[in-house]
């Protein structure tokens, strides 16, 4: 429970700090666009998660949740190896 609480605090803080940082560092002409793109990417990611979970569920399976949790590794690995 403690780690879930700390994780929730970190995610909540990043959802506030990231747009604030973008708005401070970006040129004035691009500020709104970059913050809007940040918010759009969050919403688009949630949509992709819902769609992928919908496509992974089967009515007779007890183990779909494992695939739903494991599929997250694909974009994580792509991001990990693209930053090297």
Contact 11, 18 (CB under 8 A): no
CA dist 29 to 3, 20, 23, 24, 39, Å? 40, 16, 11, 12, 18
pLDDT digits (tens, 9 = 90+) for 71-81: 888 888 998 89
pLDDT digits (tens, 9 = 90+) for 26-74: 998 999 999 999 999 999 989 999 999 999 888 888 888 898 888 888 8
Question: What's residue 76's pLDDT?
Answer: 86
Contact 19, 39 (CB under 8 A): yes
Is the overall model pTM greater than 0.85, yes or no?
no
> Within a 10 A sphere around the Cβ of 68, how many other Cβ atoms?
15
């Amino acid at each position: 429970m403690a780690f879930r609480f700390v994780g929730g605090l970190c995610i909540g803080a990043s959802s506030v700090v990231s747009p604030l940082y973008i708005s401070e560092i970006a040129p004035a002409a691009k500020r709104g666009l970059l913050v809007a793109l940040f918010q759009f990417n969050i919403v688009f990611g949630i949509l992709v998660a819902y769609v992928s979970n919908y496509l992974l569920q089967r009515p007779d399976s007890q183990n779909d949740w494992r695939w739903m949790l494991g599929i997250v590794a694909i974009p994580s690995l792509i991001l990990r190896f693209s930053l090297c």
